Structure 1
């Protein structure tokens, strides 16, 4: 997701965690012969184990999301020598809300600690160029792994679990290649294969919702008035929901992969069972402490509390 909340990206954590990057590789268990899946921690950003790649490798343009222009490969002016953001606690106030939306799905620490074995881009220009080229590739692959790991948690998708496990193992294998191997990966081709599996997964889950559901795939719903709407099981893949009013809407089992939720009003909405909703999409939207999220997602710090309300699930 890009740094404006569109697939592929998410928010930097509110603090830097202690580096705990796992070098876990897939193994087969003797009992089942199944390929083990990567730990969930590998798909969550650990900024303390990363060399601030999102603050250097990626470009941004002066806009409502970023206060200034920055070219790819050039460190952000707010980046300190210790790879920490100098205005992290004030990003939105300083005109950098786009930074609070982006998420790397754990690609930053993978590239920093696994691909390059702890060598950072300040050490030599050759490492820098290669690292910056590889980071977007691993970022997109990790996003696909996030979707596949979610699909494997869905009971309705059990008929596809074997294919999903196989696909997840293959994408994970690609992320552990050398810098040269990663640079040669055809991400678009990998995505096409994964997307077909995710489409079939979504169909299986949505079929469990009673009644016929109108498909709104890639629909233009910018600013749509959908307050209180029953959108359970709706296909909203790739839909434009910018600034849509989704207050108190029921989005359980709705397929939201690729949906643009920038400035969508999710106050009081139920997204606890939404399909393929990512942290960047949530970060780009507006919500409150009544908005229900799945345990896989974190409630953004910038979401407003509801008057006298109490959180209804999620984190």
Structure 2
């Protein structure tokens, strides 16, 4: 899927702004979020407290060594471009160090913007899917409404309750999923929404058109599995083995999900996503 997708009668939608651009962000994910000492993070850190690895230029001092230094959780986090939006647009390029009076509100706005940008990522993908053509009007309106919310002033964003809007978008994405998955080859389509598939042996499984929304696939063996047209929104792929799996056409897959998994050079990915650097082969 290219960065710019276009449906009939619509203007091109730019996905570049939905990718993290750390060079134009004030290290917001390294400050605004809470870290809990675990297998994912080597330290405890309160929200609003800069990570000890954050440098004066807002860059991570161990970026290329995060996994070996005990911070694999950082490598799987994705802000969907919310960081640069808050830094450059909402606060007009004024950073929290030089303008400390903005810090508290900036850190409140960032997670709200992150939710909105995640919705934009899903809606943009939905608009590119041919089977969802009957929903394109609704999808476009939802995307425009979400984009409008991202342009609100900082005061409004800080107090924004995203949950209601997110629920509306989720229902629309579910209808999109149903239309797309209906095009999968006939046969038994597995409905495993929210299923506990931790450590499941799914090597070579035919999961085309499966509903795997929110499924727990932690450490599952998906070697060589066929996940084309499967709904993967919110599926937990932490330490899942995707070696040789086919994820082309998988619905609502994100870079963060791939970064949390294991794979190799034979894993087939959607064009919109990158092969994680830590994968083998």
TM-score range, shorter chain: over 0.9
- Residue ranges of structure 2 left out of the alignment (5+ in a row): 1-6
CA distance in 1, matches of 2:86, 2:111: 10
Superposition RMSD in Å: 1.4
Equivalences for 1:67-86 in 2 at 5 Å?
67-86=42-61
Give structure 1 stretches of 5+ with no counterpart: 1-31, 306-315
Deviation beyond 4 Å, 4+ runs, structure 1? 32-35
Residue 121 of structure 1 contacts residue 127 of structure 1 at CA under 8 Å; is this kept in 2? yes
Is 1:161 aligned with 2:139?
A: no
Distance 1:36 1:153 in 2: 12
Decide which of 190, 195, 217 is 1:214's aligned counterpart.
190
Alignment match of 2:177 (pick from 202, 222, 236): 202
Partner of 1:209, secondary structure, is coil
Mapping of residues 33-72 of structure 1, within 5 Å: 36=11, 38-72=13-47
Q: SS of the counterpart of 1:110?
A: helix
**Does residue 279 of structure 2 align to residue 303 of structure 1?**
yes
Please tell me whether the aligned partners of residues 37 and 168 of structure 1 are also in contact (alpha carbons under 8 angstroms): no
Match of 1:253 among 219, 225, 229: 229
- 1:38 deviates by 4.5
Instruction: Tell me if 1:294 matches 2:270.
Output: yes
255, 258, 268: which one aligns with 1:282: 258
TM-score when scaled to structure 1? 0.85
Once the two structures are TM-superposed, the CA of residue 35 in structure 1 deviates from its matched residue by 6.2
Asked if 1:120 corresponds to 2:95, the answer is: yes
- Contact kept in structure 2, 1:245 and 1:266, CA below 8 Å: yes
The counterpart of 2:168, out of the listed 193, 210, 233, is 193
Deviations 1:286-309 (A, max 9, x none): 00110011011111000111xxxx
TM-fit CA distance, 1:214: 2.1
Name the counterpart of 2:220.
244
Counterpart Cα distance in 1 of 2:13 and 2:29: 22
Q: How does 1:132-147 map to 2 (within 5 A)?
A: 132-147=107-122
Aligned residues: 274
Q: How many angstroms does 1:34 deviate by?
A: 5.9
The 3 A distance-change label for structure 1 pair 216 and 265 is: same
2-side partners of 1:213 and 1:292: how far apart? 21
For residues 163-200 of structure 1, what are the alpha-carbon distances to aligned partners after superposition, in whole Å with 9 as ceiling and x for unaligned? 00100010011001100111222211111000000000
Instruction: Give the TM-score, by structure 2 length.
Output: 0.95
Whole-Å separation in 1 of the counterparts to 2:62 and 2:175: 43
Q: Are the counterparts in 1 of residues 48 and 107 from structure 2 also a CA contact under 8 Å?
A: yes
